[in-house]
């Protein structure tokens, strides 16, 4: 197999045994990007010089006998809303074109300290607002399985890069499904950790009570490896939880027989394509054959997740994006202005795309005098009911199962004029963000030669359980080993 076809775990074994060098690995992925990027448009920018410099340092350290971590020399790609010191970070928006942060995100620092080589920054929906990566202000990323289809979003560039062998691991963020949904549409593994498990410092905010950083990988074993690097409390992020981080890689081999799984009826019925449902139910049957008890559960308040999300997320976005005013940094209009308010309006109008402007206006309305109680406050109360639904379900079940996406990948432009259908792409993933729990996408089949994903949901800070049951499924099936012919 070529180096770019290997998993991160397989690469780490070859690197540790000195069968190959970190520079050779980095160059293999750089060459793969060069040969496929004109078809996919996965990357906002590539950093081959940085990757080779970091890889060379790993080779020198290994030659000197230094003790290195398992991912030392393994390449990684970062979603373009993770701040990278001195390297452009745009969030897929014209308003941040040319912006070079003066500091790194915590997860970027952790990956660099682990010896990983950064090959580039991946494309995304503008400020992570979208489910197809069509909302990027710069380019549309394509799905490696079918170049006429979207890869999902908003971490579509990260998902496409891993699927096509442009990077063995990529980091994304997940506010309403932005890791799991593109992982599903691209046929790879994607983990949204529990809110607070991974530091958000240096992550450009969309909705601060929902955003979480997580990995997109080829299989669950690779997800376990990178989680051991990026998870954990840090002083720079007050929302990161001071809870011990398990040895995820060591624990994925544990026995799963005797576990209990719930299948929420609200996430398997109306709105889910029948062929997608069949793939997920076949996976449920596979779990039953592995000794896991599976049964339907009722979670009635989940039906309100979509409106709750689009009130809370847009309200937080309106607040977070107020900082882009054309004064301190980012785009400033070249047109004549009458006063400071005119400068704000023209700069923001030119810099933000239509989806971002829409969500800012929705959030501003929800927070406005006379409407706060009727919309935002009520949404927070219903969010509490959704959390209670999950607490009740987890009282009797170790994890939950549902489809990740109600459909397989759709054509570029197919839903561009139907915003409701676009937003319904996240009906299965949004509840997990509202509850703050962990969610894992695992490939479980194909429909019309396009991947289908199964979503596993776990109790807060029990990513180890999800990784264990996800790994067990992948040991019993081969869906995760399928690769597009590019």
> So which residues are the catalytic ones?
79, 154, 178
Could you give the dihedral angle defined by the CA atoms of residues 463, 379, 236 and 242, in that order, rounded to the nearest 10 degrees? -40
Answer yes or no: are the C-beta atoms of 111 and 230 closer than 8 Å: yes
How far is Cα 143 from Cα 36, in angstroms, rounded to an integer?
Answer: 12
Nearest to 40 by CA among 166, 219, 210, 183: 166
In which residue are the tokens 């607002």 written?
A: 129
Q: At what angle do helices 354-367 and 305-320 cross, to 10 degrees?
A: 100
68: its two tokens: 């290195």
Answer yes or no: are the C-beta atoms of 58 and 69 closer than 8 Å: no
465 in the Ramachandran plot: left (φ > 0), alpha (ψ -120 to 50) or beta?
Answer: alpha
How far is Cα 182 from Cα 174, in angstroms, rounded to an integer?
Answer: 10
Answer yes or no: are the C-beta atoms of 8 and 218 closer than 8 Å: yes
Give the pairing type, strands 438-447 and 169-173.
unpaired
Rg of the chain over Cα atoms, rounded to whole angstroms, equals 21
3-state helix, strand, coil in the chain (%, to 5): 45, 15, 40
Answer yes or no: are the C-beta atoms of 245 and 199 closer than 8 Å: no
| φ, ψ for residue 444, nearest 5 deg | -140, 15
Answer yes or no: are the C-beta atoms of 426 and 176 closer than 8 Å: yes
Three-state secondary structure call for residue 340: helix
How far is Cα 192 from Cα 311, in angstroms, rounded to an integer?
Answer: 21
Residues 6+ apart with CB under 8 A from 1: none
Residues 6+ apart with CB under 8 A from 315: 363, 366, 367, 376
Q: What's the longest Cα–Cα distance across the chain?
A: 70
How far is Cα 55 from Cα 485, in angstroms, rounded to an integer?
Answer: 28
């Amino acid at each position: 197999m070529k180096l770019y076809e290997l998993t991160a775990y397989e690469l780490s074994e070859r690197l540790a045994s000195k069968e190959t060098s970190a520079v050779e690995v980095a160059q293999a992925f750089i060459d793969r990007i060069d040969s496929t990027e004109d078809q996919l448009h996965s990357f906002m920018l590539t950093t081959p010089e940085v990757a080779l410099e970091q890889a060379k340092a790993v080779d020198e350290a290994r030659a000197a006998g230094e003790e290195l971590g398992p991912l030392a020399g393994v390449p990684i790609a970062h979603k373009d809303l993770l701040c990278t010191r001195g390297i452009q970070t745009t969030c897929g928006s014209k308003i941040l074109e040319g912006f070079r942060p003066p500091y790194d995100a915590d997860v970027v620092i952790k990956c660099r300290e682990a010896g990983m080589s950064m090959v580039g920054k991946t494309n995304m929906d503008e400020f992570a607002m979208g489910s197809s990566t069509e909302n990027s202000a710069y380019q549309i990323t394509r799905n490696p399985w079918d170049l006429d289809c979207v890869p999902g979003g908003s971490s579509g560039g990260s998902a496409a890069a891993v699927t096509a062998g442009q990077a063995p691991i990529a980091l994304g963020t997940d506010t309403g499904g932005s890791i799991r949904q593109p992982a599903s549409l691209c046929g790879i593994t994607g983990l949204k950790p529990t809110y607070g498990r991974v530091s958000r410092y240096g992550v450009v905010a969309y909705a601060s009570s929902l955003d979480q950083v997580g990995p997109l990988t080829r299989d669950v074993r690779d997800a376990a490896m990178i989680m051991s690097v990026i998870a954990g409390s840090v002083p720079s992020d007050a929302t990161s939880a001071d809870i011990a981080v398990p040895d995820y890689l060591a624990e994925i081999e544990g026995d799963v027989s005797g576990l209990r799984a719930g299948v929420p009826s609200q996430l398997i019925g109306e709105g889910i394509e029948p062929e997608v449902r069949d793939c997920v139910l076949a996976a449920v049957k596979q779990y039953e054959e592995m000794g896991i008890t599976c049964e339907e559960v009722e979670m009635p308040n989940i039906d309100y997740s979509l409106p709750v999300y689009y009130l809370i997320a847009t309200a937080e976005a309106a607040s977070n994006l107020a900082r882009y005013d054309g004064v301190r940094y980012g785009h400033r209009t070249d047109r004549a202005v009458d006063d400071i308010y005119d400068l704000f309006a023209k700069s923001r109008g030119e810099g933000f795309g239509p989806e971002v402007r829409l969500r800012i206006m929705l959030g501003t309305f929800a927070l406005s005098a006379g409407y706060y109680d009727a919309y935002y406050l009520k949404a927070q109360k219903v969010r509490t009911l959704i959390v209670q639904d999950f607490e009740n379900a987890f009282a009797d079940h170790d994890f939950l199962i549902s489809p990740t996406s109600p459909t397989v990948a759709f054509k570029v432009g197919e839903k561009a004029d139907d915003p409701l259908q676009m937003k319904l792409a996240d009906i299965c993933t949004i509840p997990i963000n509202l509850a703050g729990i962990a969610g894992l996408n695992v490939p479980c089949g194909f429909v019309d030669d396009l991947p289908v994903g199964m979503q596993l949901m776990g109790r807060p800070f029990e990513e180890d359980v999800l990784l264990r049951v996800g790994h067990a499924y992948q040991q019993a099936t081969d869906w995760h080993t399928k690769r597009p012919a590019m």
